[in-house]
A = this chain, B = another copy of it.
Amino acid sequence: MNIGEVAERSGIPPKTIRYYEDIGLIRPQRSGNGYRAFRELDVHKLAFLGRARALGFSIEDCRTLLSLYEDESRESAQVKAIAEEHLTAIDEKITQLQSMRETLSHLIKSCHGDHRPDCPILSDLAGDPTVVRTVSSLANKAAK
């Protein structure tokens, strides 16, 4: 199987497949003409990677998950630990984004959005404490 067909079947673009080989996630064989020769196993691995990436796992997590998948003496606790750590990271990101969202939507609501220059969004960014006043506390959090 050539890279094009594998890309089609796994949903991973050719460029990315080559990249994954570069960093050692897959090791396709080679044909006499220098083309990569993929087996079913490779397609399977790539699909695995695609799903893991879609869940937001880092490449290094994917590497570990793949090696656990291939390790018949693994303990499911190892996998679960990685997943739980990742879930925690996702929760933190969500919390941070929701905090931004909160502040931003308040600011947007308070802005007329017309032809006049007066703008509470800019005033707040400029540090004017007479307006909505929620961003600087956010900035403090981000700095920590």
* A residues whose Cβ falls under 8 Å from a Cβ of B: 11, 44, 47-48, 50-56, 65, 68-69, 71-77, 79-81, 83-84, 86-87, 90-91, 93-94, 97-98, 100-101, 103-105, 107-108, 111-119, 121-122, 124-127, 135-136, 138-143
The interface residues of chain B lying within 8 Å CB-to-CB of A143 are 11, 50
The interface residues of chain B lying within 8 Å CB-to-CB of A100 are 54-56, 90
- Contact in complex: B52, A125 (CB < 8 Å): yes
Q: How far is the CA of A113 from the CA of B84 in the complex (A)?
A: 11
Q: How far is the CA of A103 from the CA of B53 in the complex (A)?
A: 13
Which 6 A/B pairs are nearest by Cβ-Cβ distance? A80-B113, A76-B119, A54-B139, A54-B142, A77-B113, A75-B115
Q: Provide a sorted-by-A list of 24 A–B residue pairs whose CB atoms are within 8 angstroms.
A: A11-B139, A11-B143, A48-B126, A50-B139, A51-B138, A51-B139, A54-B100, A54-B142, A55-B100, A55-B125, A55-B135, A69-B126, A73-B117, A75-B117, A76-B113, A79-B119, A79-B121, A80-B112, A83-B108, A83-B111, A83-B121, A87-B101, A90-B101, A90-B104
Contacting residue for A114 out of B52, B76, B124, B140, CB 8 A: B76
